Structure 1
Amino acid sequence: MDNGDIACDGYHKYKEDVKLMAETGLRAFRFSISWSRLILNGRGSINPKGLQFYKNFIQELVRHGIEPHVTLYHYDHPQYLEDDYGGWINRRIIKDFTAYADVCFREFGRYVKFWTTINEANIFTIGGYNDGNSPPGRCSFPGRNCLLGNSSTETYIVGHNLLLAHASVSRLFKQKYKDIQGGSVGFSLYAFDFTPSTSSKDDEIATQRANDFYLGWMLEPVIYGHYPDAMKKTVGSRLPVFSEEESEQVKGSSDFIETIHYLTASVTKNEMNPSLSRITDFNSDLGVSINISSLKDKYVGSPWAMEGILEYIKQRYGNPQSTFLRMVK
């Protein structure tokens, strides 16, 4: 319940950190750049200390034979943009995020060949704008510590803006940097390993619905240019619509899909709308019961769960050319 100003003090101890990585035998390291540390107010002048730190850190990795994998956005954007126009609930952030990415590509692209635009875009959106239990803590449920928000609409608005921002950054990279620097731009999603609670047809259908809402929500647009039919049918007018031009921009905008996996879960069909608060939100739209496996369960974070996720993506989405999967236990 404190700030993160010092934390593990990587700002000062990065050389020691990289030395430990090399001694451990790491050949790659994925880390995030903080928008606020590089461009204090989200747009305009660059913070020279932030710029120099990231340059030093990236070059230190390269000197030790460690491939830097950079994530541009990991749940933190400058407070100024939140105060100015609401951050991700406003389309204005697409332009500012693209300009920030432009700085990163220009300044670090000589050494960085793997870029991820948004970390766990689906989980960031649900936590930050539906449930209100992660930054920026927006929701509309009584009794929760959310001063602002609308769980019924903002979840889908933010998800839409994230996809458009990712597509904008990807287009910028291909037009301005790819031929010079090489490299690739991807998108990060969190994936449960969902399995039906029983062998019934109802639970099988419920499991597919869970996959559509959690994974297909953002994976279908970057592969096919549209949202899953199950979401369009249930969410209706609360789900934003891509214009034809936007659909073409989002479709095929990822050179790779980064899939992050922590937990397995069983899925059961719900007989009734699960929203006890009477607020229509992502969870009530989902309309299924999800039982997260116990952390003591031997199947949590298992190799076969990872395999199951990759196999699902392969079969459901036509075997995308490149899928990276990270498991965290």
Structure 2
Amino acid sequence: MYKWVISLAFYSIFILVFQVVYLASAADHYTRADFPADFIFGSATSAYQYEGAAFEDGRTPTIWDTYVHSANNNGATGDVTCDGYHKYKGDVKLMSETGLEALRFSISWSRLIPNGRGPVNPKGLQYYNNFIDELIKHGIQPHVTLYHVDLPQALEDEYGGWLSRKIVKDFRAYADVCFREFGDRVLYWTSINEANAAAIAGYEYGFIAPGHFPSSKVSSRNQTYVVGHNFLLAHSAIAKLYKNKYKATQKGYVGINIYAWGSVPHTNTREDIIATQRANDFFIGWLIDPLFFGDYPETVKMNAQTRIPAFTEYESKQVKGSVDFIGVNHYLTVSIMDRPITSDIITRGFDADKALWIIFDQGQPAPGEYPVMPSGLYGVLEYLKQTYGNPPIYIHENGQMTRRNGTLMDTSRVKYMHAYIGSMLDAMRNGSNTKGYFVWTFLDCLEILDGYESAFGLYYVDLDDKELKRYQKLSGKWYSNFLKGGNVISEPSKNAPFHLRSGFSQ
């Protein structure tokens, strides 16, 4: 209760004051030298979105394969995507030329261990060894995510995947292989990508794999909470494994990743301010509180009641303190409006329990683009600092969405990156323990929500070209200039011939 009161008071003051003064004070002129020498800048991707080669060299289907091949997904799959499985050497060379200091990528569980458990696939093992070696050869630090929404379909079919506690043993065994085989070169391990969003979107709303819609089913309206609980148990199991078996020799770090949008009250009423704190409890505290305090937030337990699993004393002790860092994916800011809890217990699930409306009313500068609201990232970093004792934070994903139309003059992405990196710098100057920033993403690739309709890349990938040729965008040039120590501006020149169809050449 004490933490909740402090958080609410903080939010009330923060929202009223910060939004007024932020834009005037945000860092606008900065260079790489304004960040600590050990701060890491890079880019991020994931196996299914980048690798392709979905049916080659022993890789077996995942729940993501099954989802995109069975759902109405406009034919967008990860069967080929950027073909990184075959083209990684050229891509790493581009990363080096751009000046990336690190790459965050994921390992495909079913490429490494095709049945989810049991024998390791030699060709999968060779690919990841080669990829990691190529990164290190070019001075790029590998940051590895173990699970990025691509559970082996074999485990989903056998026992329901993340809905069963059997997953904890299999995930631990998979992580053991990764630590053993790659840990001599990999220091930074993230257990699960967007653990909160993966549970909500996959098991409450059904718009990502595995596509469950339990909120309409009386018998399974707690699936989201069960999956979140098993995420925490699996994470803490591999953190314990690493600490006991590998930490002394490999000296690496194990963290978890969450999706965190900026949340602001829709109005300055007490109800909306309280609802905003409740939103943070449900979207952040739900899976981060147990890692620091050993249990779920009181608001979440009170609203979810018996629908959320309870930690045993042993589980609580294992989960608490099991992170070395928190990974944050942040793209946009929403406003929060209070919604009274209904008495309809039959349809109540995670959506109803949180008792609030999420309003995407911030306006858009252009169709299909995120509004530039860097105060949201500052607010997330400040909230994590205030609530959890300022743990190490890595911004694992942040980037601007545009339509995929072949344009290389992506000025909106430049403005977005300039603003959000500046916001992060402001938060660090105010004491945030942020350690790294990874832009999403290096190459235009398969996107989780709309396939190839949108793009986030610093490089355009021509899907109509049989070689899938890569073309650097203005944002890639801007980021490269920044990483190499140049002064950066938010209003780039529009004189360069940066449109693919007008004769631009690499």
Same fold (TM over 0.5): yes
Quote the residue 2:355 is aligned against. Answer: 287
Residue 66 of structure 1, aligned match among 132, 140, 148: 140
Q: Aligned equivalents of 1:295 and 1:62: distance in 2?
A: 39
Please tell me whether residue 259 in structure 1 is matched to residue 328 in structure 2. Answer: yes
Q: How many residues align structurally?
A: 322
Q: Which moved more, 1:53-62 or 1:278-287?
A: 278-287
Tell me by how many angstroms 1:323 deviates. 1.3
Q: How does the TM-score come out when normalised to structure 2? A: 0.61
Secondary structure at 1:171 match in 2? helix
Residue 202 of structure 2, aligned match among 107, 122, 128: 128
Please tell me whether residue 198 in structure 1 is matched to residue 272 in structure 2. Answer: no
AA partner of residue 79 (structure 2): D
Shift in CA distance, 310/163, structure 1 to aligned 2, threshold 3 Å: same
Secondary structure at 1:207 match in 2? helix
Q: Aligned equivalents of 1:204 and 1:92: distance in 2?
A: 40
Quote the residue 2:185 is aligned against. Answer: 111
Residue 317 of structure 1, aligned match among 385, 388, 404: 388
Secondary structure at 2:100 match in 1? coil
* RMSD of aligned Cα (Å): 1.9
Tell me by how many angstroms 1:7 deviates. 1.1
> Is the CA contact (8 Å cut-off) linking 1:139 and 1:149 kept in structure 2?
no
Shift in CA distance, 227/171, structure 1 to aligned 2, threshold 3 Å: same
Secondary structure at 1:158 match in 2? helix
Quote the residue 2:399 is aligned against. Answer: 328
Tell me by how many angstroms 1:149 deviates. 9.6
Q: Aligned equivalents of 2:275 and 2:308: distance in 1?
A: 20
Tell me by how many angstroms 1:324 deviates. 1.3
Shift in CA distance, 105/149, structure 1 to aligned 2, threshold 3 Å: farther
Q: Aligned equivalents of 1:182 and 1:295: distance in 2?
A: 44
AA partner of residue 125 (structure 1): A
Please tell me whether residue 304 in structure 1 is matched to residue 372 in structure 2. Answer: no
1:1-329 alignment, distance < 5 Å: 1-140=75-214, 152-271=221-340, 273=342, 279-292=347-360, 293-296=362-365, 300=371, 302-320=373-391, 322-325=392-395, 326-329=397-400
For each residue in 1:164-193, what CA deviation from the matched residue of structure 2 results, as whole angstroms up to 9, or x when unmatched? 000000000000001111110000001010
Tell me by how many angstroms 1:319 deviates. 1.9
Secondary structure at 2:214 match in 1? coil
Q: Aligned equivalents of 1:301 and 1:70: distance in 2?
A: 29
Which structure is higher in RCO with an 8 Å CA cutoff and minimum separation 6? 2
Q: Which moved more, 1:303-312 or 1:114-123?
A: 303-312
Q: Aligned equivalents of 1:114 and 1:55: distance in 2?
A: 16
Secondary structure at 1:189 match in 2? strand
Q: Aligned equivalents of 1:166 and 1:234: distance in 2?
A: 25
Tell me by how many angstroms 1:150 deviates. 5.7
AA partner of residue 377 (structure 2): M
Quote the residue 1:145 is aligned against. Answer: none
Larger radius of gyration: 2
> Is the CA contact (8 Å cut-off) linking 1:264 and 1:299 kept in structure 2?
no
List gaps (5 residues or longer) in structure 2.
Answer: 1-74, 401-506
> Is the CA contact (8 Å cut-off) linking 1:139 and 1:150 kept in structure 2?
no
